[in-house]
């Protein structure tokens, strides 16, 4: 029996069990389900260590090679080592160096990256609303209605604009979303079944 | 609800198995063309011609248990096989160490099968950060430094979607995206060259494979969709006559 066949059998047995357990309320089944989830958490924790070590190894190699991007690797390696060593020595309590670094370095950097979104939304909207075709015109008109209807200017222009914006959001927009969601649901089920039944073997 | 869901699952299983048994082995199956999937080969070829790498990432929103991630990894197999055969470098940053290990196996296997294992670069498949914007910043940094010729944004994306897509757009990469996040779809449609909308991502591997069994499942999916449509329309008609049975049948 090849290793691939073993993988297919494991995928089939586990998949069928996870599917069936949803409909069965029995102590044995529930316990087995919780045990399987625990195993996933254990695997995740181990791969997190592997992932961290791989990241460290990759950046140490880049540091050794030394090129113009090595400064980024130096920052990454320093940050990883600082957070790991300081949390081992001083813990992760309120006044620990770990918490200080998290609150004063990591959180502001994350907020900075998030704030980029505002500029990217503006540049993407500018490209998206250029009217080059009939569908683009429909998009631009719908966007204009919603934009004005949801702002204070909408009511100033016409008292019907806010309700028109609401209609666009609650009818054509929701109808399209629901159509996509039904397709996504079917696609999810079909993908899961393809893997469980061994039809889809791309993961091997 | 549980009973209805069970009936749905069983019906879909039966349709897939029956269709596969009677049709798939006997007839050649054709699927309609989807531009985004057709462009996969073009994207890899373009990156190879330019001497630039390919970047593939599965987004921050999903872990390995999510069908979207599995569908994205199915597509990765084809992209990696094509990249390996062309001798093109493939970069795979991710927020999840389990996805990183799975992708490593898929890409290494693709290079091995193409007989180019020496071109395989283990350091290009990396877990970068579990934090959403840490991941976004890391991928943005990789895009800025390596300047990829093609970018594949496939999976479940959240707030980082537009940050990644716009950075890719600025770098001039040919971008193919696919997601089940309806909110992020609009951003991808604007910022990327091709977008696989919802279920198109799930069916990507069926389009790219020569295996009739996988293609047959697409046909079965359409049959289920038709059945669902009939049920929804019937429920609507019955509701018009005062019979609200949709909660029992859906």
Q: Rounded to an integer, what distance in angstroms lies between the CA atom of residue A111 and that of residue A115?
A: 6
Kindly give, in sequence order, each residue whose CB lies less than 8 Å from that of residue B24, ignoring residues fewer than 6 positions away.
Answer: B212, B213, B215, B216
> Which has the closest alpha carbon to B110: B136, B133, B87?
B87
A51 touches chain B (CB under 8 A): yes
pLDDT at B63: 86
Inter-chain residue contact A124 with B190, CB threshold 8 Å: yes
Q: How much is the pLDDT for B207?
A: 83
Distance CA B208, CA B102 (A): 20
List, in order of start, the domains of chain B with CATH numbers: 2-29+209-249 (no CATH), 35-202 (3.40.50)
* Torsion angle of the four alpha carbons B170, B171, B173, B179, in this order, in degrees rounded to the nearest 10: -60
Strand partners, A4: none
Tell me the pLDDT of chain B averaged across its residues. Answer: 86
Q: Do B128 and B95 meet the contact criterion of CB atoms below 8 Å apart?
A: yes
Q: Select the residue of B70, B163, B187 nearest A113 (Cβ to Cβ).
A: B163
Say how far apart CA A102 and CA A93 lie, in whole Å. 11
More confident residue, B199 or B154: B154
- B30 close to A (CB below 8 A): no
Residue whose token pair is 């987004």: B59
State whether ipTM is beyond 0.85: no
Contacts of B183 by beta carbon, 8 Å cutoff, 6+ apart:
none
Residue A73 contacts residue A62 (beta carbons within 8 Å): yes
User: A152 to chain B, minimum CA–CA distance in Å?
Assistant: 24
Local structure of B29: helix, strand or coil: coil
A62-81 tens-digit pLDDT: 899 888 888 999 999 999 99
Q: Distance from CA of residue A63 to its chain's centroid?
A: 30
**For position A23, what pLDDT does the model report?**
77
Report helix, strand or coil for B178.
Answer: strand
How far apart are alpha carbons B140 and B195 in whole angstroms?
Answer: 20
Contact yes or no for B56/B92 (Cβ under 8 A): yes
Q: Does A91 touch chain B (CB under 8 A)?
A: no
pLDDT for res B245: 64
| Residue among A48, A52, A51, A20 nearest A36 (CA) | A20
CB contact under 8 A, A23 and B2: yes
Q: For residues B223-231, give the mean pLDDT.
A: 81
C-alpha to C-alpha distance for B73 and A148, rounded to whole angstroms = 41
User: What is the arithmetic mean of pLDDT over B85-96?
Assistant: 94
- When mean pLDDT is compared across A117-131, B7-21, B192-206, the lowest value belongs to B7-21
Q: How many CB pairs under 8 A join A and B?
A: 163
Put simply, whether A131 touches B (Cβ < 8 Å) is: no
Question: Given CB atoms, is A194 within the 8 Å cutoff of chain B?
Answer: yes
Interchain pair A180, B182: CB under 8 A? yes
- pLDDT of B84: 94
Question: Measured between alpha carbons, how far is B220 from B222 in angstroms, rounded to an integer?
Answer: 5
What whole-number distance in Å separates Cα of residue B7 and Cα of residue B12?
A: 9
- Residues within 8 A of A (CB atoms), B 203-232 only: 203, 205, 209, 211, 213-214, 217-218, 220-221, 224-225, 228
Contacts with A48 from chain B: Cβ below 8 Å: 97, 130
B2 contacts on A by Cβ (under 8 Å): 22-23
Question: Looking at chain B from residue 97 to 156, which residues have their Cβ under 8 Å from any Cβ of chain A?
Answer: 97-98, 100-102, 106, 123, 126-128, 130-134, 136-137, 140-141, 145
* Selection from B145, B135, B82, B72 nearest residue B103 by Cα: B72
Angle between helices B2-19 and B212-240 (to 10 degrees): 140
Chain-centroid distance, C-alpha A151:
30
B6 — pLDDT class (breaks 50, 70, 90): low
A91-100 pLDDT tens trace: 888 889 999 9
Positive/negative CA dihedral, A198, B105, B99, B214: negative
At residue A99, the pLDDT reads 94
Contact B131/A195, CB-based, under 8 Å? Answer: no
Residue in A with minimal Cα distance to B206:
A200
Q: What is the pLDDT of residue B13?
A: 67
Q: Give me the pLDDT at residue B3, please.
A: 65
Separation CA B246–CA B34 (nearest Å): 33
Q: Which of A25, A64, A117, A185 to mutate to test the interface with B (most CBs of B within 10 A)?
A: A117
pTM value? 0.87
Instruction: Choose the mutation target among B5, B17, B97, B146 for the interface with A, i.e. most A CBs under 10 Å.
Output: B97
* Least confident span in A138-152, B141-155, B171-185: A138-152
pLDDT of residue A138: 87
Reported as a pLDDT band with limits 50, 70 and 90, residue B17 is low
pLDDT value of position B125: 93
* Segments in chain B forming alpha helices (H): 2-19, 35-50, 67-86, 97-113, 132-146, 160-171, 182-191, 199-202, 204-208, 212-240, 246-249
Give tens-digit pLDDT for A124-179: 888 877 777 888 888 889 888 998 998 888 888 888 888 999 999 999 999 989 88
Neighbour-count burial for A5-44, b at 16+ CB within 10 Å, e otherwise: eeebeebeeebeeeeeeeeeeeeeeeeeeeeeeeeeeeee
- Angle at A70 (CA atoms; ends A68, A73), nearest 5 degrees: 150
Q: How confident is the model at residue B83 (pLDDT cuts 50, 70, 90)?
A: very high
Give the Cα separation of A75 and A89 in Å (integer): 21
Residue with tokens 């770990």: A98
Give the residue on B whose Cα is nearest the Cα of A25: B2
Q: Could you give the angle at the alpha carbon of B63 between the alpha carbons of B57 and B67, nearest 5°?
A: 90
* pLDDT score of B249: 57
Residues in chain A within 8 Å Cβ distance of B205: 200, 202
Residue B250: the pLDDT is: 55
A48 vs B97: CB contact, 8 Å cut-off? Answer: yes
The answer to whether the Cβ–Cβ distance between A202 and B141 falls below 8 Å is no
pLDDT, tens digit, for every residue of A24-58?
A: 888 998 999 999 999 888 988 888 888 889 889 98
Query: Whose structure tokens read 């939304």?
Result: A121
Query: Token pair 């049948």 is at which residue?
Result: B249
Name the residue ranges covered by the structural domains of chain A. 1-90, 129-204
Q: In this complex, is the C-beta atom of B187 within 8 Å of any C-beta atom belonging to chain A? A: yes
* Distance to chain A for B48, nearest Cα, Å: 23
Top pLDDT among B213 and A74 is at A74
Answer whether A58 sits within 8 Å of B221, measured CB to CB.
no
pLDDT at A152: 85
């Amino acid at each position: 029996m090849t290793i691939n066949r073993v993988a297919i059998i494991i995928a089939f047995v586990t998949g069928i069990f996870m599917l069936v357990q949803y409909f069965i309320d029995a102590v044995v089944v529930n316990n087995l389900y919780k045990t399987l989830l625990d195993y996933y958490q254990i695997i995740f924790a181990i791969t997190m260590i592997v992932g961290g070590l791989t990241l460290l190894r990759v950046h140490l190699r880049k540091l050794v090679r030394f090129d113009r991007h090595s400064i980024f690797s130096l920052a990454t390696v320093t940050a990883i080592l600082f957070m790991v060593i300081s949390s081992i020595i001083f813990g992760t309590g309120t006044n620990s160096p770990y918490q200080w670094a998290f609150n004063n370095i990591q959180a502001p950097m994350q907020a900075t990256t998030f704030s980029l979104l505002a500029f990217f939304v503006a540049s993407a909207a500018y490209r998206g609303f250029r009217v080059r075709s009939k569908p683009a015109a429909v998009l631009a008109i719908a966007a204009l209605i919603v934009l004005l209807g949801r702002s204070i200017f909408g009511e100033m222009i016409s008292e019907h604009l806010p309700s028109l914006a609401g209609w666009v959001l609650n009818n054509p927009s929701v109808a399209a979303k629901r159509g996509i969601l039904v397709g996504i649901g079917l696609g999810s089920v079909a993908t899961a079944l393809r893997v469980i039944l061994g039809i889809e073997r791309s993961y091997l | 609800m549980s009973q209805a869901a069970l009936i749905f699952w069983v019906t879909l299983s039966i349709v897939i198995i029956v269709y596969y048994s009677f049709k798939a082995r006997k007839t050649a199956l054709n699927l309609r063309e989807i531009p985004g999937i057709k462009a996969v080969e073009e994207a890899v070829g373009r990156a190879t011609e330019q001497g630039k790498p390919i970047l593939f990432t599965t987004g921050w929103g999903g872990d390995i248990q999510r069908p979207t991630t599995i569908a994205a990894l199915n597509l990765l197999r084809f992209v990696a096989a094509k990249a390996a055969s062309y001798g093109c470098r493939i970069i795979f940053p991710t927020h999840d160490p389990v996805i990183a290990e799975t992708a490593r196996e898929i890409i290494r296997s693709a290079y091995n099968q193409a007989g180019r294992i020496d071109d395989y670069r283990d350091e290009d498949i990396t877990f970068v950060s579990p934090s959403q914007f840490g991941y976004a910043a890391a991928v943005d940094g990789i895009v800025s430094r390596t300047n990829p010729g093609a970018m594949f944004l496939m999976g479940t994306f959240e707030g980082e979607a537009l940050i990644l897509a716009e950075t890719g757009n600025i770098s001039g990469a040919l971008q193919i995206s696919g997601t089940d996040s309806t909110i992020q779809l609009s951003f991808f449609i604007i910022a990327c060259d091709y977008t696989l909308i919802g279920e198109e991502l799930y069916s990507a591997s069926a389009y790219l494979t020569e295996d009739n069994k996988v293609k047959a499942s697409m046909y079965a999916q359409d049959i289920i969709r038709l059945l669902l449509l009939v049920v929804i329309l019937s429920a609507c008609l019955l509701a018009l006559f005062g019979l609200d049975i949709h909660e029992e049948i859906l």
